[in-house]
Amino acid sequence: MNLSATQESPAVRVGLTALTVVLLVTLLLLPLAVVFTEALKHGLAIAADALVAPDAIAAIELTLIVAAISVPLNTVCGLAAAWCIVRFRFSGRGLLITLIELPFSVSPVISGLVWILLFGANGWFGPAFDRAGIRVIFAIPGLVLATTFVTFPFVVRTLIPLMEQQGASEEEAALTLGATGWQTFWRVTLPNIRWGLLYGVLLCNARAMGEFGAVAVVSGHVRGQTMTMPLQVEALFNDYDWVGAFTIAGLLSMLALLTLVVKAALEWRIGSRGGPLL
């Protein structure tokens, strides 16, 4: 019997569904269950003590600081880049899009090494910064640079298809009616893209807080000073502090689950307004 492209046999549907469920349980649910089980196996009080340890608090604070700096930077730069790419046609536009997507294809470790070559003690600009009393590598500026580079594409790649689909007719109408550029942006452009912008910021923030490779290279692994939460998990695990490692890992997992919930809500909101789902 011939089957159309939209009609599969019951055996195929059941097999694909079972395979999907097995993969979800094996690759997602089981690891999450192990993380929370190991974190709470000695009781909630022990896990709470691990979270309020000085190094853990420092790692959490540093993670939030780096995200609080890099995410707004990427939001502003991503919005400007998306506007430029969508609203203008110019020579080198394709190259600009390729460069924006470069962090997706480059290993985070390599991006960390690039910043060391630029701002390290023997780097191109490192000695000049040292003479000025500015420390970049093994300090917060280096962590912010590495995180910003890795997370840069998320906002701009979220906005480009949304802005292309919406077009520029409303903006042109506002300008025709006498609105200034800033008025058009704040009252027309930004309201139209706000849900897509929030979607990109959400993905950017999730990656910023969970980034490991790039920050591991530029951090120097100074406990209590340059260790973010992912680096702190590795350090505690290497010290055989299972409770501490899995407790912080559990906190990161909870943030990831919260991100998924908000992401699903934003996808529904964008989809209900006719925008593209990413």
Residues 146 and 187 in one domain: yes
Token pair recorded at residue 101: 């997507």
Confidence tier at 115 by pLDDT (50, 70, 90)? very high
The answer to whether residues 22 and 122 belong to one domain is no
Half-sphere exposure of 101 (CA within 13 A, CB side): 10
The string of pLDDT tens digits covering residues 154-165 is 999 999 998 888
Please give the pLDDT value at position 272. 64
Asked if pLDDT for residue 199 goes beyond 70, the answer is yes
Residues 24-41 have a mean pLDDT of 85
Report pLDDT digits (tens) over 54-94: 999 999 999 999 999 999 999 999 999 998 898 888 888 88
Rounded Cα gap, residues 188 and 244, in angstroms: 48
Position 178 in a domain: yes
State whether 120 and 195 are in the same domain.
yes
Do 48 and 27 lie in one domain? The reply is no
Closest to 150 (Cα-Cα) out of 212, 199, 200, 198:
212
Q: What is the mean pLDDT of residues 190-209?
A: 89
Residue 188 lies in a domain: yes
Residue 151 lies in a domain: yes
pLDDT at residue 1 greater than cutoff 70: no
Q: What is the pLDDT of residues 178-195, one digit of tens each?
A: 888 788 888 888 888 888
10/115 same-domain check: no
Q: What's the chain's Rg over C-alpha atoms?
A: 23
Residue 277 covered by a domain: no
CATH number at 252 reads: 1.10.3720.10
SS3 content of the chain, % helix, strand, coil (to 5): 75, 0, 25
Examine residue 141 and state whether it is found in any structural domain, yes or no. Answer: yes
Dihedral sign for Cα 243, 245, 248, 253, please.
negative
Q: Is the model's pLDDT at 174 over the cut of 90?
A: no
* Long-range pairs of 68-72 with CB within 8 A, sequence gap ≥ 24: 69/144, 69/148, 70/144, 70/147, 70/148, 70/151, 70/204, 70/208, 71/151, 71/201, 71/204, 71/205, 71/208
Q: Answer yes or no: is pLDDT of 40 > 60.
A: yes
Position 278 pLDDT exceeds 70? no
| Closest listed residue to residue 141, CA positions, set 116, 108, 123, 110 | 116
Residue 275 lies in a domain: no
Compute the mean pLDDT over every residue in the chain, rounded to the nearest whole number.
86
* Tokens coding 16: 């694909």
Residue with tokens 């000073």: 225
Please indicate, yes or no, whether residues 68 and 146 belong to a single structural domain of this protein.
Answer: yes
pLDDT-based confidence at residue 30 (cuts at 50, 70, 90)? confident
Model confidence at 264, in pLDDT bands (50, 70, 90)? confident
pTM: 0.84
CB 67 within 8 A of CB 208: yes
Tokens of 265: 């809500």
Q: Are residues 181 and 52 in the same domain?
A: yes
Residue 140 lies in a domain: yes
Domain residue limits at 223? 43-270
Are 32 and 47 part of one and the same domain?
Answer: no
Asked if 166 and 64 sit in the same domain, the reply is yes
* Shared domain check, 2 and 101: no
Tens of pLDDT, residue by residue over 139-157, are: 999 999 999 999 999 999 9
- Candidate from 151-155, 177-181, 218-222, 240-244 with smallest mean pLDDT: 177-181
Angle at 147 between CA 157 and CA 80, to 5 degrees: 40
Does residue 103 sit in the same domain as residue 31?
A: no
d(CA 196, CA 272): 12
- What's the average model confidence in pLDDT over 246-273? 82
The total domain count for the chain is 2
Q: Answer whether residue 273 shows pLDDT above 60.
A: no
Contact between 62 and 143 under an 8 Å Cβ cutoff? The reply is yes
